[in-house]
Amino acid sequence: MADDTPAQDSKLTITKRKWADEGKFLTGRHARPETDRLPPGQHLVKNWPVLDLGQQPSVSTSQWKLDVRGFVNNPVTLDWSAFQALPQTNMLSDIHCVTTWSRYDNNWKGVSTRDFLDFVDPMNEAVSVMLTSYDGYTTNLLLSDFSSPDAIIVTDWEGKPLSEEHGGPVRLVVPHLYFWKSAKWLKRIDFNGLDHAGFWEKNGYHMRGDPWAEERYSED
């Protein structure tokens, strides 16, 4: 298993910080997901590009655990069998990476975030979640985005277990936001009373990341 500290100065990290500084890929256009399937500045791919911080932690299903803490009435540590015992769901959705590629019609299997929320029972104080990965990566989401009807905690893609390079054994998928919000190698979810910045959010990227509004970079 990889060390739990992200590679702060990997080639990708340096490049993406530069993009944020330059406002690269911004078109200035807005679109609506109801009528525009492809967000502004995006292009379609048929493959699934692999992007990470220079580490791909190897976590077997026998090793994997998910810690849920913070403002929840049911703080819990789930192992693989406990996670598999939660209601299982199949979903079809598109994904959009801030590096400008999009991929249509991905078939996912896992636990919908709404079923997950029913299980952990967030308190009224919870307004956001912080996701932590096995490589130390973090990203934040408003609870309203985490609980969207098409968000899913994924174990399978296209009928097969999610591969290590794409975040297996478990990752989040939130299709209506840029894909850096869909943390790979999911290890921990903290329910917070404030919306704190994660890794890319501290490195020039937007706190929310709506592709149709081109929320690629920080507004500061």
User: What was the pLDDT predicted at 25?
Assistant: 59
3-state helix, strand, coil in the chain (%, to 5): 20, 30, 50
Assess whether pLDDT exceeds 90 at residue 19.
Answer: no
- Per-residue pLDDT averaged across 127-147, rounded? 97
- Per-residue pLDDT averaged across 168-187, rounded? 98
Structure confidence by residue, pLDDT tens digits, 86-111: 999 999 999 999 999 999 999 999 99
Structure confidence by residue, pLDDT tens digits, 25-49: 567 777 777 778 999 999 999 999 8
What's the N-to-C CA distance of the chain in angstroms?
36
Selecting from 3.50.50.60, 3.90.420.10, 3.40.630.30, 3.30.70.1710, what CATH number does the domain 11-213 have? 3.90.420.10
pLDDT band at 3 (very low <50, low <70, confident <90, very high): very low
* Cα dist from 133 to 52, 67, 110, whole Å: 11, 11, 17
Domain definitions of the chain by residue range: 11-213
| Tokens coding 88 | 């299982």
Predicted TM-score (pTM) of the model is 0.88
| C-beta separation of 186 from 137 below 8 A | no
**CB atoms closer than 10 angstroms to residue 18:** 11
**CB atoms closer than 10 angstroms to residue 170:** 26
